[in-house]
Structure 1
Amino acid sequence: MKKQFLTILLILFCGNALKAQKTDAGNIQSKTQGFTKYNGYFNFYWDEKTGKVFLEITDLNKEFLYVNSLPSGVGSNDLGLDRGQIGNSRIVKFIKIGPKVLLIEPNYNYRAISNNADERKSVEEAFAQSAIYGFTAVATDGDKTLIDITSFLLRDSHKIADRLAGDNQGSYSADEGRSAIYLPNTKSFPDNSEFEAIVTLAGKGKGSEINSVTPDANAVTVRMHHSFIKLPDDKYKTRKFDPRAGYFNVDYMDYATPIDEPITKRLLVRHRLEKKDPAAAMSEPVKPIIYYVDSGAPEPVRSALIEGAAWWNQAFEAAGYKNAFQVKLLPEGADPMDIRYNIIQWIHRSTRGWSYGASITDPRTGEIIKGQVSLGSLRDRQDFLIAEGLVQPYEDGKPTSDKMLKLAIERLRQLSAHEVGHTLGLQHNFTASVKDRASVMDYPPPTVSLNADGTIDLSKAYKQSIGDYDKRAILYGYQDFPTGTNEDAALKGIVTETIKQGFQFISDDDARSPGSAHPYAHLWDSGTNAADELNRLMVLRKHVLENFSAKAIRQDAPMATMEEVLVPMYLIHRYQIEAASKVLGGLYYTFALKNDGQVITKFITPAEQWKAFDALMGTLKPDALAMPEKLIAMIPPRATGYPRTRETFKSRTGLTFDPLAAAESAAGTTLSFMLQPQRAARLIEYNARDNSQPGFLPVLNKLIAQTWKAPQATGYKGELQRLVNNLTLKQLLTLAANTNAAENVRSIALLQVDELKTYLSLASKTAKGSVKANYMFGLAQIKMFEGSPDKFQPAAPVAMPDGSPIGADDDLVY
């Protein structure tokens, strides 16, 4: 009886199991009845009635690359949310536990490259993973699982709300009721599946930036894209990172590393490129690297972008490749967000901003899967504006020169090459300018000179080819070595020869940091010697200002708009000021490896430092800061409809043009660089180690002697001198009050302030008029500081109008 009962139970159990299996077998088909199916890397279904997307998962636990991006942006440089911006690239996988399906991101920062499964498991379990999202299975068919991914696609995947809140633009969150799947860009291909959604960030917009670029700042509607990408195969060969080679890198800790070897592994970031015949000196590639230019770029811009990007083929030819790097126009109907296309796109914003190059990269190996260049459409207009100021082309009754357009197009070619270089794996190299503009990975100002007849020569404004340094860099990153080659030795030989040829790589941090010290690492500078170039620019600048006229603006333009063209002319030396300041208290150094023969560190000679000091002081002289009277008289208050902008000078005189405020912005910049706290600390340290070095106190003594203690001029130039005096004292007091500055720096600043106080107390007794007022104001400032040094905050100098492209994002490469 008992056996019969068990038999009946077994029959019932098996019958129910078979029934369940039979029911499940048609689940996905029945669930998706009437839906539109998209076949590809991931099959998915579109339900027109509900507006939902359902994803079919066939390979649970199989890793793939997930990338979110922003195909339609906000349009503000300051907010940094541009069309085509690539977000995070993450390796992920779906796992299923009961009805729950989780999208898991493994932790590839910590690995064990080992054949021992237990060793690998011990590292995986030691560090946290991240569950990106959770789903519930809505149907299953054997090993297939169907999930509804609509809410995943409609969320704020690009973290726009966080960005806007961080920039004090308002409080936002994704509003699913005002969001929907964007079907035209939702599609599937053999190696990638693409999803896009219109997402509305709803909230309260309070910032000026978000209000300036949206119809309704309470509803910021953009499009967000999601790419599910098949990971590359395991045939890609990684390449060793070398800090001297100029490339980006990926790194991770490998806990399977023998104890006598470094645990952190660093790999080069680069595209996959192989010769058909590695043994041949010149060979076609197995598969070329192809970049596609956005067809939305107008002519002649489009051709310039194609031509400039194509320069890189010169570097690949030098590395032994034939037709390895190609540039084409994006085919009609192609989706620029498709992973198969390396893209050069032309993006529009409300103001001029940075261009940048970004990549989708395999985090495991450093292999670049897709390069994406974003070029701001207003950059060429700024170069055109600079050329207008230099050429002064608008003469009544005469045809307008084409020199402005030529200069703008030349710059676009260079810019296209520069940003593509980032997507090939290359960092900036801001030392290239000292060796005949050896790299497009530097930031180049136009190289402009003065002809003997007084005309401006723009013929060598921008270099129109790839640089020799760039060829050496591509050789390191992409050289395909014949079988049997010792790659480590070969790569070391390439770098050694690059150094031998006089090329040097210095990184972004060494150029951009406020306390930068390297005498060659500068943005937007020219020439082999920073001080000499500053002096040359000041001569050129004086000539331009003395001859500046209404020929700088178009017929029927308001005379007030002369100021827009004047700004980059008056401040044409602004970046060279920063370059020259780094020589003062600077240090020459390299990214030397042990025994590679390079100079590791070297003091800059005292003579060079004092030459830089003199050049900087030359920018503070009244003669340098003054504008010609005839020029000032030509600029009226702003015409209605033409308000002041961040691109024009600030004014302390109300509606009228203020030449003193313009001078204040220039002089304040020079002094802020000269009295930068870290620079001051180096001057003290280097003098202590070598008493021939200038030292901070002697620098301050000469500064005060050439400002406060110099003979006082009269009139307009006297006001300029007193302006510089006040700025000098304020910088000293700010430095003395700066609790983040080294105490030896603050003490010397205090000593100089005290000595200046004594001088002003005596000099004010016999001084008269404006000079006496200047001395008394200085004493009052010192008294305020002495009364409460920890709270003393002198008024900041008038800021310069924006110079570099507007806006910044630390995650991008400009």
Structure 2
Amino acid sequence: MRHRYSLVLLLTLLTPPLLAQTITAFTAGMDKRPGFLTFYWDAKKGKIWLEIDKFGQELLYYPTLAQGVGSNDIGLDRGRLGAEHVVTFERSGNKVLMIEPNYGYRALSRDSLERRAVAESFAQSVHAGFEIVAEEGNDPNRRVLVDLTPFLLQDAVGAVQAISQTKQGTFKVDASRCALYLPRTKAFPKNTEFEATITLAGDAPGPYLRQVVPTPTAVTMRQHHSFVELPPLDGSYTPRLFDPRSGLNNIEFFDYASPVSQPIQKRYITRHRLAKKDPSAAISDPVKPIIYYMDPGAPEPIRSALMEGTSWWNQAFEAAGYRNAFQVRLLPADADPMDIRYNVIQWVHRSTRGWSYGASITDPRTGEILKGKVTLGSLRVRQDYLIAQGLMARFENNAADTAALMPMALARLRQLAAHEVGHTLGLPHNYIASTVNRSSVMDYPHPQVTILAGNKLSLDSAYARGIGEWDKAAITYGYQDFPKGTNEKTALDALIQAYLKRGLKFLSDQDARPEGSAHPQTHLWDAGGTDAVAELSRTLNIRQIALDNFSASKIPVGTPMANLEEVLVPMYMFHRYQVEATSKVLGGVSYSYALRGDGQPVVETVPADRQRRALAGLITTLDPKTLAVPKAILDLIPPRAFGYDPNPREVFKRHTGLTFDPMGPPEAAANLTLRLLLNPERCARLLNQKAQNPAMPGMTDMLKGLIDLTFKPQEYYKGEARTYAEAIQQMTSRRLLESLIALATDKDADSRVRAVAHDAIQHIRYYFVIDHSVRSPLNHGSDSQLLWLIRQYETNPQQPPVTSTALAAPDGAPIEPGYDWLDCEK
């Protein structure tokens, strides 16, 4: 009897209690919101009660940031999308778990046991657990009620981590200052949207927070949660296989049902759902068009320029055989930009200029893009206007010759909108397009400046207008709707062969972003054309004309004179991106995303004569004549006016306190060239190409050119200009030596690179520091700083000598589009 009593007690403890109330009774008096996921608003308790009736059904969950922080550096922008998650609700007793299956590993098989073997081999993720408070109905229509409020009041977008990673303080969610935000909490037939006001509290906030938050110890934002019906896997959407030559982004996963003879890793392109009403017709209306909505918060004439640039994509869809398949409209005033039903272009404000980006919500199962979301930074247009101002403006008294300024800025905005929308259509960057007649808006274009007679400058063709030929080819690959019976793989390969025959090319971020990258035609913000060296010479000419014409008339009457520096920065550094482009010619290797049998060139080393021209051009950028700031400009820039504190990113760094440092710009520009030339990967390629072919330039050839310019006596101007030029040469020689020491002690560099750098240091020591037979402005005797640097390096090479911090150039990027989840460098 005692054992039976114990068993009954044990069963009682293990059996969940029966729920006392039905959902109807529990929610009496609450505000019911029926929809995809029906919920109830409990105004008395400030809670959201979620009704769950979709057990085992896959749906999409993702968070977004509805109201941002306003700092480009922290990155918590209005409209920022979080990661998407396929989730299911599963019940266990009195609890419901929200579980994310692992779609990175699957088996594309009809065999349920084969699929189960994969599912049980890899971890899943449980995003939340909910206690059931009420239920009603009968299986299979049983419904349960849970408290969703704690889930909604969490930091879903990772704001705490973003603030911590940018060293802006230690913060945590303060639950007492969080609440649900009802105006954007809504239920629709195919999606349910929730929003909450979230406050992070912390101590010692960093400067970025202090700049944008009224009380920086309390950072309040609004975070949004979306639950969305996923498209059915019924064959109405067919995933398209990825090809690295196609110019489309992709999802990837392991398919353990793949035959052993086939790759186990599968890749699908990402694209919106689009189909012709008549697939057999050469031109057809779509079954359903792709519609993008423009944020009405963008002012005119900016809004119209953005809508025009976005509309260019219809040209690409026309080339793919569609009529009116891509449309642009103004976002209705009552629409929620976070709503999955709207592809949105948002106009986002920050305290400083920053990146624009294009992101997407994608079905992780198929690669289908469900929502495109573009963020356009509002201060970008001012940077483009500033560049035009430095090149063209003349403010005389109360009149201004500014006719070319705003048109150039608006032309760039059209390109910017087209570029970022392109990402949300599935296209990555194409950084080689500028060498093929501006063939893609997915490149980063530098403004094209034309030199006219009399050294006049023109911005009439600063940016191309309309979609590019490459963009049409990529959209056709991604969205072409083939007639029934077509072998899709063969047809898609034919599209690629067709664009190759037209001379179109595609290379992306991995080939352009690293400073040590090798392709001689793949760059960010280069001036275009097939010859980077010739473009460097032309760019330097434009820079010189801009500096020769620089005067107080570059700013309006009534503007503090010190503000001239902001206009000077992009003019003095006008060559910065072409220097980077030219550096890739040195030790450069041309290549393509070739597949076996497609006929593309695989690998070709840049010819020796072209590399030598590149080296000569780059060395020119270190010449004191190139680096010197004209005295007429130095005499124009006083310390900052009271109440006009500078943005440190928009002015030159300095060693001179309040006053403008005449050595600041030369040091910034010299450091840029030296960093690019002495990149360890570039140096290693130079050594390798010399070893394979003695006729090619090598690392030693490069160092000889650098040492000759910076250490040997040069012909200078007379008088004060001579003294200034000698000071610049002393600076460049010191920076070269410091760079060589850093290279010689770089443990990650090729040992041969380190050895050559060491030999160069010893050459400098014996021929230019100790040997007084070499007469130059750099001879300071045996106790010179250069000798001290070398001795410190020799004494303790594991700990290079501490020198003054090199003055970096002011931020250049983004002068063009940037950071789209694919773009994140500065």
Aligning the two structures, in what range does the TM-score lie when normalised by the shorter sequence? Answer: over 0.9
The aligned runs of 1:509-588 (5 Å cut-off) are 509-526=510-527, 527-588=529-590
Contact 2:135 2:145 in 1 (8 A): yes
Counterpart-to-counterpart distance in 1, 2:805 and 2:767: 24
Counterpart-to-counterpart distance in 2, 1:385 and 1:202: 38
| 1:694 corresponds to | 697
Higher mean C-alpha deviation, range 205-214 or range 94-103: 205-214
Higher mean C-alpha deviation, range 366-375 or range 723-732: 723-732
Higher mean C-alpha deviation, range 450-459 or range 242-251: 450-459
| 1:751 corresponds to | 759
Counterpart-to-counterpart distance in 2, 1:783 and 1:556: 53
Counterpart-to-counterpart distance in 2, 1:335 and 1:768: 69
| Letter in structure 2 aligned against 1:44 | F
> How far off its partner does 1:84 sit?
0.1
Closer/same/farther in 2, CA of residues 563 and 230 from structure 1, 3 Å limit: same
| 1:800 corresponds to | 809
| Letter in structure 2 aligned against 1:503 | L
| 2:795 corresponds to | 787
Counterpart-to-counterpart distance in 2, 1:590 and 1:630: 48
| 1:594 corresponds to | 596
| 1:220 corresponds to | 219
Determine which of 610, 614, 620 is the counterpart of 1:618: 620
Closer/same/farther in 2, CA of residues 769 and 324 from structure 1, 3 Å limit: closer
Contact 1:205 1:211 in 2 (8 A): no
Say yes or no: does 1:439 pair with 2:447.
Answer: no
| 1:652 corresponds to | 655
* 1:329-371 alpha-carbon deviations (Å, 9 max, x no partner): 0012011111100000100000000000000000000000000
Counterpart-to-counterpart distance in 2, 1:397 and 1:748: 59
- For the residue of structure 2 that corresponds to 1:86, the secondary structure is coil
| 1:9 corresponds to | none
Contact 1:722 1:774 in 2 (8 A): no
* 1:573-615 alpha-carbon deviations (Å, 9 max, x no partner): 0111111001101111111011111111110001111111111
| 2:3 corresponds to | none
Corresponding residue pairs, total: 794
Counterpart-to-counterpart distance in 2, 1:540 and 1:67: 48
Query: What percentage of aligned pairs have identical amino acids?
Result: 50
* 1:643-676 alpha-carbon deviations (Å, 9 max, x no partner): 2322101111221111211110001100100000
- For the residue of structure 2 that corresponds to 1:583, the secondary structure is coil
Counterpart-to-counterpart distance in 2, 1:371 and 1:462: 25
Counterpart-to-counterpart distance in 1, 2:782 and 2:237: 69
* 1:457-511 alpha-carbon deviations (Å, 9 max, x no partner): 1000011110111111111011110111110000000011111111111110111
| 2:480 corresponds to | 479
* 1:108-155 alpha-carbon deviations (Å, 9 max, x no partner): 001011111111111110101011111101111131010100000000
| 1:460 corresponds to | 461
Counterpart-to-counterpart distance in 2, 1:197 and 1:407: 41
Contact 1:760 1:775 in 2 (8 A): no
Closer/same/farther in 2, CA of residues 641 and 765 from structure 1, 3 Å limit: farther
Question: What stretches of structure 1 move > 4 A for 4+ residues in a row?
Answer: 765-771, 806-810
| Letter in structure 2 aligned against 1:663 | P
Counterpart-to-counterpart distance in 1, 2:587 and 2:222: 49
Determine which of 79, 89, 105 is the counterpart of 1:110: 105
Determine which of 66, 70, 82 is the counterpart of 1:71: 66
| 1:35 corresponds to | 30
Counterpart-to-counterpart distance in 2, 1:552 and 1:763: 48
> How far off its partner does 1:259 sit?
1.0
Say yes or no: does 1:120 pair with 2:115.
Answer: yes
| 1:145 corresponds to | 144
Closer/same/farther in 2, CA of residues 768 and 286 from structure 1, 3 Å limit: closer
The aligned runs of 1:626-637 (5 Å cut-off) are 626-637=628-639
| Letter in structure 2 aligned against 1:446 | P
- For the residue of structure 2 that corresponds to 1:593, the secondary structure is coil
Counterpart-to-counterpart distance in 1, 2:823 and 2:666: 33
| 2:6 corresponds to | none
* 1:70-95 alpha-carbon deviations (Å, 9 max, x no partner): 01111100111100000010000111
> How far off its partner does 1:43 sit?
0.5
Counterpart-to-counterpart distance in 1, 2:696 and 2:420: 40
| 1:11 corresponds to | none
| 2:370 corresponds to | 369
Counterpart-to-counterpart distance in 2, 1:194 and 1:718: 66
- For the residue of structure 2 that corresponds to 1:45, the secondary structure is strand
Contact 1:422 1:813 in 2 (8 A): no
| 1:200 corresponds to | 199
| 1:334 corresponds to | 335
Counterpart-to-counterpart distance in 2, 1:469 and 1:112: 35
> How far off its partner does 1:809 sit?
6.4
Contact 2:358 2:821 in 1 (8 A): no
> How far off its partner does 1:103 sit?
0.6
- For the residue of structure 1 that corresponds to 2:395, the secondary structure is coil
Counterpart-to-counterpart distance in 2, 1:397 and 1:488: 64
| Letter in structure 1 aligned against 2:222 | R
Closer/same/farther in 2, CA of residues 673 and 766 from structure 1, 3 Å limit: closer
| Letter in structure 1 aligned against 2:320 | A
Counterpart-to-counterpart distance in 1, 2:309 and 2:163: 35
Contact 1:681 1:745 in 2 (8 A): yes
Contact 1:760 1:779 in 2 (8 A): no
Counterpart-to-counterpart distance in 1, 2:766 and 2:778: 19
Say yes or no: does 1:49 pair with 2:44.
Answer: yes
| 2:683 corresponds to | 680
> How far off its partner does 1:768 sit?
7.7
Determine which of 128, 132, 138 is the counterpart of 2:127: 132
* 1:684-737 alpha-carbon deviations (Å, 9 max, x no partner): 112112222211112112221222124364311111111111111111111001
- For the residue of structure 1 that corresponds to 2:82, the secondary structure is strand
Contact 1:764 1:775 in 2 (8 A): no
Counterpart-to-counterpart distance in 2, 1:788 and 1:423: 52
Contact 2:743 2:754 in 1 (8 A): yes
Contact 2:619 2:705 in 1 (8 A): no
> How far off its partner does 1:795 sit?
3.3
> How far off its partner does 1:453 sit?
2.7
Contact 2:293 2:330 in 1 (8 A): yes
| Structure 2: runs of 5 or more not aligned | 1-14, 717-721
| Letter in structure 2 aligned against 1:391 | M
- For the residue of structure 2 that corresponds to 1:267, the secondary structure is strand
Counterpart-to-counterpart distance in 2, 1:140 and 1:789: 73
| Letter in structure 2 aligned against 1:673 | L
Contact 2:22 2:134 in 1 (8 A): yes
Contact 1:112 1:120 in 2 (8 A): yes
| Structure 1: runs of 5 or more not aligned | 1-16
| 1:101 corresponds to | 96
Contact 1:245 1:473 in 2 (8 A): yes
> How far off its partner does 1:291 sit?
0.1
> How far off its partner does 1:762 sit?
4.4
Higher mean C-alpha deviation, range 197-206 or range 290-299: 197-206
TM-score (norm 2): 0.94
> How far off its partner does 1:773 sit?
6.6
| Letter in structure 2 aligned against 1:568 | P
- For the residue of structure 2 that corresponds to 1:370, the secondary structure is strand
